[in-house]
Amino acid sequence: MKGYHNKGFIMITTSLILVVLLVLSAFVLTFMLNERHQSIQEENKMAAYYIARAGAEATEKAIFNMADGEIEKLMEKLNKSPKPLKVNLDNLDFENGDLEVELEKVESSDNIRIVSKGRAFLGKDKKGNDSYVEDIVRKVIVGERVADKIELNYAIFAASKLIISGNPNVEGDIGIGKNGEKVISGKINLKNGRIREGIEVAYPLMDFPDIPSVDKVDGSASVKSIGESVEFSQGLVTFDNVEIDTIKGDIDIIVNSISFNKDLIIKGSGKVRLFVKNQIYFNDNSSKINKNGDPNKLEIYYYGKGINISTNCDIRANIFLKDAGVNISGNTITGSVFCNGVNSMNISGNVNNGFIYAPRSQINISGNGKFSNGIVGNEIIISGQCDITFRKMELPTDLFEPNYSDKIKIISSYFE
């Protein structure tokens, strides 16, 4: 009986050991299968990642290699498209996967985001459909607006309309904007140039500065000398043989209204910026504004509604008009006249050693005035026998609105 019981115990023990071994074997096998499956998943996930990365890098290379003008066209498409743009990368072939790449514009910037989705093929699922594992790579191409040079290439450039009923003498090319109109009933004495139509150029507006904050003074309405930046709080300030000394540096002068009764002389090497909020009066035919000086040392910024320069005074300055129209007759301006507004400019006087730059204005030119460096306007109407000569110029880009340039430079990239 004792041997019988021992044999039974041994059988039970052996069975239990076999069961335990079977369980352990099943566990180890399951573990190994799971590890293998997980390893395959990781391999496929890694394959999907590298497919996606290859798509992002191929797209990045294509963007970096774009010719001048192509990146701007791409950015224009992205701005207009409500959805991301799909990228064709048929030249990339993956044996066990595929690729989808889209481009989107990064909000409030000139950056482009590449969204590349890679898929690695796993085989067929139980229903017989293709099974994939996916991964997405995002890369941002950093673009920057370039402050390109602004060139004046025309003696006359009219963006939308050019009407000539007089007999002007013009030296240099005459340009008319794309879809612009020309009506010529007079005779143009055109020298060293020709009329060019359908010109695609968009001249930017000036970056009109805010009026600076400086110390205010009440003082006398009649001023004789200025040696530092100042704002005159009275309504009308009279400049009567005023000397402005810039030995300490540039000077800003702010007035509500100003009357030039006699000469204004600038001493020193600094620049003077005169900000006028309401009115400018030129009261003396013999006045010399910036007498014998460099016109680039005096900038007059005018924020009022309209300005009349109808005396024979000599003005050596660059004049900037925010929105105002202007009447210029009988006098000589040495320097340039800029205008951001749409109000008319009526000119029968002379503008020497500078240009008239009013890309949104109608410019009416009559009389026998002389213009030495070109005219840019929206509509230009010439009825007199003026002389317009041209000298090719490059405008300083800091005069114009930020991000005016249509040119974009790709400078770097990064993964998100």
> Same structural domain for residues 194 and 338?
yes
What range defines the domain where residue 131 resides?
A: 2-147
Query: Tens digits of per-residue pLDDT, 219-274?
Result: 555 678 889 999 998 888 888 888 999 998 999 999 999 988 888 899 999 999 99
Lowest mean pLDDT among 33-37, 124-128, 215-219: 33-37
Coil, strand or helix at 221: coil
Residue 13 lies in a domain: yes
User: What's phi and psi for 128, nearest 5 deg?
Assistant: 85, 10
Q: For residue 156, give Cα distances in angstroms to 138, 178, 197, 334, 337.
A: 49, 15, 12, 18, 15
Query: Tens digits of per-residue pLDDT, 297-324?
Result: 999 999 998 888 876 788 899 999 988 8
> Same structural domain for residues 249 and 322?
yes
Q: How confident is the model at residue 406 (pLDDT cuts 50, 70, 90)?
A: low
What is the per-residue pLDDT for 71? 85
Residue 387 lies in a domain: yes
> Same structural domain for residues 104 and 251?
no
What is the per-residue pLDDT for 380? 95
The H or E element that residue 278 is part of is strand 272-282
> How far apart (Å, rounded) are the C-alpha atoms in residues 294 and 300?
14
Q: For residue 124, give Cα distances in angstroms to 9, 51, 129, 131, 411.
A: 51, 20, 5, 6, 44
How many structural domains comprise the chain? 2
> Same structural domain for residues 182 and 233?
yes
| E strands, 39-177, in order | 85-87, 97-105, 112-124, 130-145, 150-152, 156-164, 169-171, 174-177
Query: Tens digits of per-residue pLDDT, 27-66?
Result: 766 766 666 656 656 777 888 888 889 999 999 999 988 8
Amino acid in position 45? K
| E strands, 146-235, in order | 150-152, 156-164, 169-171, 174-177, 181-184, 189-191, 195-199, 216-217, 222-226, 230-232
Residue 55 lies in a domain: yes
What is the per-residue pLDDT for 402? 55
Q: Which of 98, 129, 147 is the last residue of a domain?
A: 147
> Same structural domain for residues 199 and 120?
no
Query: What is the phi-psi region of residue 69: left when phi exceeds 0, alpha when psi lies from -120 to 50, beta otherwise?
Result: left
Residue 213 lies in a domain: yes
> Same structural domain for residues 166 and 117?
no
CA 350 to chain centre: 33
> Same structural domain for residues 220 and 341?
yes
Give which of 159, 157, 161, 181 is closest to 170, Cα–Cα: 157
> How far apart (Å, rounded) are the C-alpha atoms in residues 175 and 157?
5
Residue 404 lies in a domain: no
The H or E element that residue 36 is part of is helix 2-64
pLDDT for 123 beyond 80 = no
Q: Which of 123, 147, 171 is the last residue of a domain?
A: 147
Give which of 361, 318, 364 is closest to 337, Cα–Cα: 318
Q: For residue 299, give Cα distances in angstroms to 276, 302, 315, 334, 343.
A: 11, 10, 11, 12, 21
> Same structural domain for residues 140 and 157?
no
8 Å CB contact between 143 and 382: no
What is the per-residue pLDDT for 41? 67
> Same structural domain for residues 296 and 367?
yes
In this structure, what DSSP letter does residue 80 have? H
Give which of 370, 329, 330, 347 is closest to 170, Cα–Cα: 370
Q: Residue 374: CB partners within 8 Å, gap ≥ 6?
A: 152, 154, 155, 156, 157, 172, 355, 356, 388, 390, 391, 393
What mean pLDDT value characterizes the chain? 84
> Same structural domain for residues 59 and 83?
yes
Residue 79 CB neighbour total at 10 angstroms? 8
Residue 416 lies in a domain: no
> Same structural domain for residues 235 and 89?
no
Residue 412 lies in a domain: no
What is the per-residue pLDDT for 381? 95
Query: What is the phi-psi region of residue 92: left when phi exceeds 0, alpha when psi lies from -120 to 50, beta otherwise?
Result: beta
Residue 123 lies in a domain: yes
CA 27 to chain centre: 67
Q: Which of 106, 132, 147 is the last residue of a domain?
A: 147
> Same structural domain for residues 139 and 157?
no
Could you tell me the sign of the dihedral formed by the alpha carbons of 400, 239, 257, 304, in that order?
negative
Quote the radius of gyration of the chain (alpha carbons, Å).
Answer: 38
> Strands 174-177 and 156-164, how do they pair?
parallel
